[in-house]
Amino acid sequence: MSNAVGSLGGRIDVSGTTLGLAVGDLVLIGLFVVAGELQHGYSLTAQPGRIVGTALPFVIGWVVASVLAGVYTPAVYRAPRSAAIRTALAWVGAALVGQALRATALFHGDFALAFVLVSLGVGLVLLVPWRVAVAALVGRS
Residue 16 has pLDDT above 80, yes or no: yes
Going by C-alpha positions, the residue among 70, 84, 113, 116 that lies closest to residue 97 is 116
Pairwise pLDDT comparison (47 vs 69), residue with the higher score: 69
Q: pTM of whole model > 0.95?
A: no
pLDDT in tens, 20-29: 999 999 999 9
Average pLDDT for 50-79: 93
pLDDT in tens, 88-139: 999 999 999 999 999 998 888 777 888 889 999 999 999 999 999 999 998 8
* Per-residue confidence (pLDDT) for residue 9, from 0 to 100: 59
Confidence of residue 140 (pLDDT cuts 50, 70, 90): confident
Instruction: Output the CA–CA distances (angstroms, integers) from residue 43 to 26, 27, 34, 106, in the order listed.
Output: 21, 19, 10, 22
